Structure 1
Amino acid sequence: MDLKEEDILGADIGRHWYYRSKAAALRRLVGPVHPQRILDVGAGSGFFSRRLLASTAAQSALCVDTGYAADRDDSEAGKPVLFRRETGATDCDLVLMMDVLEHVDDDRGLLRHYAGCVPAGAHFLVTVPAFGFLWSGHDVFLEHKRRYTLPALETAMREAGLEVVRAAYYFALVFPLAAAVRLAARGSDRPESSLRRHGAVVNGLLTAACAAELPLFPLNRLAGLSVFALGRKPA
């Protein structure tokens, strides 16, 4: 999760249409998996794992991020949330990598490392920004290395030793507008986040638009602003 975006939204992050919608898509994909113990890599505040703890039967979350000043323990919905700067082997059965791979030079190596930390059968839920032609100052600001197509993310996961269970694009309904804005600004890589705080009306409209695509979201292999992939460590 991008800490710079968390800094921009602050306490409003849980009400922002983008993060609310991404959390809803996350629940949609991992629902059939019924995770019990979450390993949240590059977790930041633990926003996504906290959402799963509050809305599913998951019992604990281990949030790992090299940006933490110190290890600490917390809780969500009465369930433990552990914040750690690093971890070794763990019995977690769901690994979250929410907008993490695009920040590292060796994406396959990072996937392979955490696949070695969890037991066989553990699932991986990975999200990344979509389509290189959408590269902009937003990516520069967030220190991205690349953007992905759906097949490119599937290939990275398979080359790291994971089975791909399902993959899809999300934010399809807002994709045309976002693409138009990014393409209009092409040629300027001035570092600047495109994330903005919005009022209740705009937030509500954009949240509703994203919710409308949720039923067909797992089938969307055409276009969107984000790529979601659910993988599994083979037995």
Structure 2
Amino acid sequence: MDLKELKLAGDEPARHWYYRAKAEMMLSHVAELNVGSVMDVGSGSGFYSRYILEHGKAQQVTCVDNGYEADHDEMVDGRPLLFRRSVCTSDADLMLMMDVLEHIEDDHAFLADYVAIAPANSHLFITVPAFQFLWSGHDIFLEHYRRYNLSQLRGLVTQAGLEICRAHYFFGTALPIAAAMRLKDKFLPTGPPKSSMRSHGRLINSFAYNICSVEMALMRLNRLAGLSVVLLARKPGS
């Protein structure tokens, strides 16, 4: 996940409409799976890992990020949360890549490496930013290499040997406002590259979150547009 962006969301990202809605969207997909252990790749602060342990059924989560100074362990609601700089094996029932692939120059090789160590019949949940035409200083600031459309992410995942369970866009309701901001920043820049993420007060957070909650009811049918591409895949059994 984007640590730069997370810091801009305020002291309590779980209250920010964007992260709250994204975490609930993620959990709505993985809650129906038989998940005992999770590996959160490119996990940064471990926000989504903690959310799964606090609200989901997982008994252990391993956060993997080469930005950690050292390996260490924590407990969340009596369940292990492990932080590792790297791993060479995995027994996780589910891998998360929440806004990770856009930071990787060779996303094909990166994904293939993790698919190779994933157990047969395990699942992978991915989110990435949508639509290259939205490329702006926001992406430069966050050190992205690219944005994706639904077809591109499906192709990347299929080439890695995974079976797609479902794929769709999310944050479609936020797209018009975000697109206007990004395109203005792209064609009428007013300074150095910066993220469009902002902290908000209770009223705006509540309003925006409620809109996203309504969208969640129909999100799996959304093949048209949104700020994020969402995909759940499975590694076939041998």
TM-score interval, normalised by the smaller of the two chains: over 0.9
1:22 positional shift: 0.3
Q: Report the counterpart of residue 225 of structure 2 in structure 1.
A: 223
Matched, 1:76 2:63: no
1:9 positional shift: 3.2
Distance 1:226 1:146 in 2: 13
Distance 1:125 1:107 in 2: 15
For residues 126-157 of structure 1, the C-alpha deviation after alignment (integer angstroms, 9 at most, x for no partner) is 00000001011000000000000011000000
Q: Report the counterpart of residue 183 of structure 1 in structure 2.
A: 183
For residues 36-80 of structure 1, the C-alpha deviation after alignment (integer angstroms, 9 at most, x for no partner) is 100000001111121111111110000000000111000111110
Taking the TM superposition and a 5 Å limit, the aligned residue runs for 1:1-235 are 1-9=1-9, 11-187=11-187, 188=189, 190-235=192-237
1:11 positional shift: 2.8
Does the Cα contact within 8 Å between 1:29 and 1:218 map onto a contact in 2?
no
Q: Which amino acid aligns with 1:227?
A: V
What TM-score does the superposition give when structure 1 sets the normalisation length?
A: 0.97
Does the Cα contact within 8 Å between 2:95 and 2:124 map onto a contact in 1?
yes
Distance 2:10 2:75 in 1: 19
Q: Which amino acid aligns with 1:160?
A: A
1:34 positional shift: 2.9
Q: Mark the runs of 5 or more structure 2 residues left unpaired by the alignment.
A: none
Distance 2:153 2:77 in 1: 33
Does the Cα contact within 8 Å between 2:138 and 2:182 map onto a contact in 1?
no
Where does structure 1 differ by over 3 angstroms across 4 or more consecutive aligned residues? none
Q: Mark the runs of 5 or more structure 1 residues left unpaired by the alignment.
A: none
Does the Cα contact within 8 Å between 2:124 and 2:232 map onto a contact in 1?
yes
Distance 1:34 1:217 in 2: 22
Distance 2:178 2:216 in 1: 19
Q: Which amino acid aligns with 1:201?
A: L
Distance 1:12 1:53 in 2: 17
For residues 213-234 of structure 1, the C-alpha deviation after alignment (integer angstroms, 9 at most, x for no partner) is 0110111111000000001111
What TM-score does the superposition give when structure 2 sets the normalisation length?
A: 0.96
For residues 173-230 of structure 1, the C-alpha deviation after alignment (integer angstroms, 9 at most, x for no partner) is 1111111222223233831010001000000000001001011011111100000000
Distance 1:10 1:81 in 2: 23
Q: Which amino acid aligns with 2:115?
A: A
1:8 positional shift: 2.4
Does the Cα contact within 8 Å between 1:89 and 1:116 map onto a contact in 2?
no
Distance 1:166 1:96 in 2: 15
Q: Which amino acid aligns with 1:177?
A: I
Aligned residues: 235
